Amino acid sequence: MPATNPVFVALDTTDTAKAASLARQLIGQVGGFKLGLEYFVANGPAGLEAVSRLGMPLFVDLKLHDIPNTVAAAMRGVVRLKAAITTIHASGGAAMIRAAADAARDEAAGRGVAPPSVVAVTILTSLDQAGAEAVGFGGPVLEQVKRLAALAQDSGADGIVCSPLEVDAVRAQCGPDFKLVVPGIRPAWSETGDQKRVLTPAEARAKGADVLVIGRPIIAAADPVAAAGRIKAELGL
């Protein structure tokens, strides 16, 4: 059986036609597509449908963070958007995480579909140690990520979002079945941009990352298909 491609391409655009065109080109080179808040605010559910109809797994990255009832109601809507993966903020707390996870599973069961993986964002990969401390995360970033990972796992989340630098420690703490979704992936031949805590795709995969979120190194390349193919080859797929 061929290995599953862990790469989800971040289609960071507000242009529906551009997102769908990029997605069509990349089928066969990647494992799925991520659409985030910028895209969703601009295009709504119809914009997601333009990509999901291509039949590839869709990561709906809205990073929900509100009171439990509000997040639960929003999560039911996310299930209707046919997401394979979706995000909440771990810092929303145990009750919010539990409400999100329960709502996703309940709504999916009622519709006879597979629930999305509900993964909790720990500390954004755009934050380094100084940035994390400035917003109130005291102590080493790694320890804060591990603390939030434990909270998410204990509260029913399917996994977390963390930088590649925390993957091996979280994997050791949370076990093999806890999904680790990892942005901050930069091939050695690409620029790091605004990401602070980065590794290459092969390095992150070797540490135990399940999903590699890669945007600009692919979509901003002169030839996105060739860039995706190069990453695929580096992963031995």
Residue 54 near residue 27, CB atoms below 8 Å: yes
> What CATH number does the domain containing 184 carry?
3.20.20.70
Beta-sheet strands, E only, within 147-225: 159-161, 179-182, 211-214
Does 51 map to a domain?
Answer: yes
Structural domain span for residue 153? 7-235
Please state the domain count of the chain.
1
Q: pLDDT tens for residues 15-70?
A: 999 999 999 999 999 999 999 999 999 999 999 999 999 999 999 999 999 999 99
Alpha-carbon Rg for the chain, nearest whole angstrom, is 17
Does 107 map to a domain?
Answer: yes
Does 1 map to a domain?
Answer: no
Residue 119 near residue 181, CB atoms below 8 Å: yes
Does 78 map to a domain?
Answer: yes
Task: Establish whether 82 is a catalytic residue.
Answer: no
Q: Tell me if residue 4 falls in helix, strand or coil.
A: coil
Q: Which residue in the list 34, 63, 179, 207 is annotated as catalytic?
A: 63
Query: Is 138's pLDDT higher than 60?
Result: yes
Give the span between the Cα atoms of 158 and 114, in whole angstroms. Answer: 13
Query: Is 160's pLDDT higher than 90?
Result: yes
Does 224 map to a domain?
Answer: yes
- pTM of the entire predicted model: 0.92
Instruction: Count CB neighbours of 210 within 10 A.
Output: 21
Query: How are beta strands 159-161 and 58-64 bridged, if at all?
Result: unpaired
Helices (H), 28-85: 37-52, 68-80
Give the span between the Cα atoms of 50 and 10, in whole angstroms. Answer: 15
Q: pLDDT tens for residues 180-192?
A: 999 988 888 866 6
Q: And the tokens for 142?
A: 């790694």
Residue 193 near residue 218, CB atoms below 8 Å: no
Q: pLDDT tens for residues 68-92?
A: 999 999 999 999 999 999 999 999 9
Does 2 map to a domain?
Answer: no
Alpha-carbon torsion 70, 73, 78, 79, what sign?
positive
DSSP state at residue 27: B
